[in-house]
Structure 1
């Protein structure tokens, strides 16, 4: 297997070199189905093992030199594209996303991903704290809550900084994002739902019940709160995806 881990670092990429982590990523992708689109292929540390899955593979990278080098070693079923993933058009048919995301672009890339259609699963390597927050470990962020009705987020494992070259200043986190087959909220209501989550997260009050009572005085949520064990100390970050969806329905 030929890979490249040295060279210019201006694109902010920390190249994955740990074979066990690479195998874990490929295994997760192997549990999905359909064509694969890799985000930031670099020297092919993931690209070449992914080829063993025998599925159509498109590797996208912004570095023309690495694109030229990778094109020399990939098989006929792999297409290596020189492009910025933030602007690269994605397939209009079901596909799977995978990538070791540049840490400084994680938020922008995640936003591009969740706003994109047609992909079914994403296997992503990001900063450890970002992976934890997106998966709702220790409490969900507003971004996670805003997208929960349509996607499920899961934390797979922590990846030590020693698994990368150059070594970053923080550990990484391997996570998955899966598009829900049955969304918890109709997609046509997404703007209203996301505005609702923003209002609850940023509203004034000591807990969810107080915030909702102030923002939606006519909403009847007492029985919802009792059934879900929501008290005056429950914060927006403590709610689950299903609880958010039901609370949105209650508040109209």
Structure 2
């Protein structure tokens, strides 16, 4: 973000930064945030921060641009703790809920950074509309979503038109809600093995070649889970992925 003393209109082109200017869109996002302390990543000019501050509960806003940090501190006073930091380098400790208007250019790194940390329970993120759809598995799952499904639930919170941002992006935004599962479908200690299986499965267009080497009776397993030989990795839901991991892990035991 720019480092001038006064916030500039718009954001760094290389990050795909688009600032939210529609109060109604901001209110829709904040309405999805559960009660309690909140950590906001990339506060920008404070469109979400102001509405979060009007609720009960502590708010910590993280912003990289020192000019915007100073502006937020002047505008919000003691209602919000404003921290100058890089969202991709800080540990997300101390707040059960994370909120962010994610710069479109770093959406995947931000998601990976979030998912790899274990201190939060809910994340409400404004991302590109198609990214939100993909992460929520609308029309089929993706490698990233399948990799984390045993520990998180992904849902679509709504669409935000491009006119709600400045500068106006070429695409609409989408609200992605991520919630940590109270009971994981796969033990956390098995995450590395599970994610290795998912990566192997997504290397091909069909699931059967990936499981043929790992299961003694792959076609029978597929049929037992309502799948046939033409099934693709994108067709599986979270419970089936967890069951596949359990079957492969059991078959690999001596």
The verdict on a shared fold, with TM-score over 0.5 as the criterion, is: yes
Instruction: Report the TM-score, using the length of structure 2 for normalisation.
Output: 0.90
Asked if structure 2 preserves the Cα contact closer than 8 Å seen for 1:6 and 1:165, the reply is no
- Matching of residue 160 in structure 1 with residue 161 in structure 2: yes
CA distance in structure 2 between the partners assigned to 1:236 and 1:111 by the alignment: 20
Aligned-pair CA distance for 1:34: 2.9
1:68 to 70, 77, 80: 70
For residues 2-151 of structure 1, what are the structure 2 equivalents within 5 Å?
Answer: 6-7=8-9, 9-10=11-12, 12-29=16-33, 32-91=34-93, 93-151=94-152
Provide the alpha-carbon RMSD of the alignment: 1.7
SS at 2:36's partner residue?
coil
Aligned to 2:252: none
Aligned-pair CA distance for 1:220: 3.6
SS at 2:32's partner residue?
helix
Please, which runs of 5 or more residues in structure 1 have no aligned partner? none
SS at 1:46's partner residue?
helix
Asked if structure 2 preserves the Cα contact closer than 8 Å seen for 1:99 and 1:123, the reply is yes
Aligned-pair CA distance for 1:231: 1.1
CA distance in structure 2 between the partners assigned to 1:20 and 1:7 by the alignment: 20
CA distance in structure 1 between the partners assigned to 2:36 and 2:54 by the alignment: 14
Asked if structure 2 preserves the Cα contact closer than 8 Å seen for 1:220 and 1:250, the reply is no
Asked if structure 2 preserves the Cα contact closer than 8 Å seen for 1:5 and 1:17, the reply is no
Output one character per residue of 1:26-72: Cα deviation in whole Å (capped at 9) or x when no partner: 1001xx24310001101110001101111111000111001001101
- Matching of residue 245 in structure 1 with residue 247 in structure 2: no
Instruction: Report the TM-score, using the length of structure 1 for normalisation.
Output: 0.91
CA distance in structure 1 between the partners assigned to 2:11 and 2:194 by the alignment: 40
Output one character per residue of 1:87-145: Cα deviation in whole Å (capped at 9) or x when no partner: 12321x45200010000011111110001111010000001111111111111111110
Paired residues, number: 242
SS at 2:158's partner residue?
strand
Displacement over 2 Å in runs of 4+: 4-12, 218-228
CA distance in structure 2 between the partners assigned to 1:8 and 1:129 by the alignment: 22
